[in-house]
Structure 1
Amino acid sequence: MALWRRAVAELVGTAALVIVVVGSGIMAATLSPDIGIELLANSIATAFGLAVIILTVGPVSGAHLNPLVSLADWWLGRRNGSGLTASDVGGYALAQVAGAIVGAVVANVMFDLSPVSWSQTARDEPHLWVGEVVATAGLILLIFSLARSGRAAVAAPAVGAYIGAAYWFTSSTSFANPAVAVGRAFTDTFAGIAPASLPGFVVAELVGLVVGVGLLALLYPRPGQGAEQVVLPREEEPAPAGRGNG
């Protein structure tokens, strides 16, 4: 599959994910004065929405929707050529960040807010960074352990369920995604994060990536498929007539 087509799928998928996260957060805050109910509605919508998005764009790009998943895929597959190339990772990451920003803008406009309203929600306490390390490590371990144990077919509901649960068991409400974190800075709503809080979250997520990959190496040392075949197996374009696949 051509990189540009996969990048478009990543952009659309990440935009849709941020629309779900931000839009459901706005709707929940509008309909309920109770922050617990708001978080419940936001987490349920995100869990179901994420599973559906993975099923929709997965056959094209693998539905990474997250630069850390793409980076882990490259790192884990660099020796045997099973993962993304470095140029693929760059293309995916750019598309994911752009998609997250587009998603936040669309969600704002849908609810009659300013297209860009920088979040004022500070999330810069150390305990929130610990939450992001835990959330990200668990996500990376989940995705790649499914591949190495031959259970990639259940990735869509499993990843959706994990993120929905992690809203509640992590102090940070489980961003676990630098692209989505950047997008959420563009909305001053329930799901937002102040731009000044982004560096701490991104660093914590990178630490979580390292922890997740380390746990994977300990628990599942056998190399497996790349993540383009993990989150959801993507389809390959047929080779042109008269040419091989090599």
Structure 2
Amino acid sequence: MGFDLQRRLVAEALGTGVLVATVVGSGIMADRLTGDAALALLANTLPTGAILVVLITCLGPLSGAHFNPAVTMVFALRRELAAGEAAAYVLAQMLGGLIGTLVAHAMFELPLFQVSATIRTGPAQWLAESVATFGLLLAILAGLRFRADAVPWLVGLYITAAYWFTASTSFANPAVALARAVTDTFAGIRPADLPAFIAAECLGAALAFALLRWLLVERETAGTARVA
């Protein structure tokens, strides 16, 4: 990446903030416009998938468009990001996400500082978060290997689908989960449920890294191999 760390961190904070503002804001709007839970979830899903395409396309060339500590962790494991840079990315993502929640509250004239009361816990929820994050990293890593230009669409479409096929509605992002703990709205998660969610997300990302590290090796000759 040709941009200095300061600009990359601003891009990560900005992207995560806009993503969270979209998730929380569309959830608030959906909750105000309909009492149908399925329709509200659909109204929350489509803006989230759409904004991911926009953000990754626009900010990807600056920072890599992680917007997600689990993604940053995997890129650090791949040695594409130094440990110090990865830590700075994660801090920027968490800060950006929290600001995104505050902006969403302000746009809808809600109290800025809230604590979610929405319970999201249990083995099924944790498994869902592991599956959601595993699939997200699969889309990113395989997409980079075979169709790098399609990654914005792959991520946007995957998250749109994962909202509906996972029991947790696919947070798949520790920074977004943290930001959603401070909104007592449609998109919220109780702070007490965060540690297990984040652990499940990191586990799913680590499993994806391990599998894709093997799966994407292309043997070129009898004695050499290329790793994605």
Which residue number corresponds to residue 218 of structure 1? Answer: 214
SS in 1 for 2:113: coil
**Letter aligned with residue 179 of structure 1:** A
Structure 1 position 159, deviation (Å): 0.3
Structure 1 position 88, deviation (Å): 1.0
Structure 1 position 215, deviation (Å): 2.1
Alpha-carbon contact 1:120-1:194 (below 8 Å) kept? yes
Which residue number corresponds to residue 36 of structure 2? Answer: 34
Structure 1 position 217, deviation (Å): 2.2
Which residue number corresponds to residue 132 of structure 1? Answer: 129
Q: What are the ranges of 5 or more consecutive residues in structure 1 without an aligned counterpart?
A: 225-246
Superposition CA RMSD, Å: 0.9
Tell me the distance in 2 between the aligned counterparts of 1:186 and 1:105. Answer: 9
2:93 aligned with 1:86:
no
Structure 1 position 68, deviation (Å): 1.0
Aligned length: 218
2:102 aligned with 1:105:
yes
Which residue number corresponds to residue 174 of structure 2? Answer: 178
Which residue number corresponds to residue 17 of structure 1? Answer: 19
Tell me the distance in 1 between the aligned counterparts of 2:113 and 2:159. Answer: 26
Q: Scaled by the length of structure 2, what TM-score is found?
A: 0.93
Structure 1 position 135, deviation (Å): 0.2
Q: 2:114 aligns with which of 96, 113, 117?
A: 117
Q: Scaled by the length of structure 1, what TM-score is found?
A: 0.87
Tell me the distance in 1 between the aligned counterparts of 2:44 and 2:214. Answer: 34
Q: What are the ranges of 5 or more consecutive residues in structure 2 without an aligned counterpart?
A: 218-225
Which residue number corresponds to residue 92 of structure 2? Answer: 95
Alpha-carbon contact 1:46-1:160 (below 8 Å) kept? yes
- The structure, 1 or 2, with the larger RCO (C-alpha pairs under 8 Å, 6+ apart) is 1
Structure 1 position 61, deviation (Å): 0.6
Alpha-carbon contact 2:143-2:154 (below 8 Å) kept? no
Tell me the distance in 1 between the aligned counterparts of 2:145 and 2:35. Answer: 44
Which residue number corresponds to residue 244 of structure 1? Answer: none
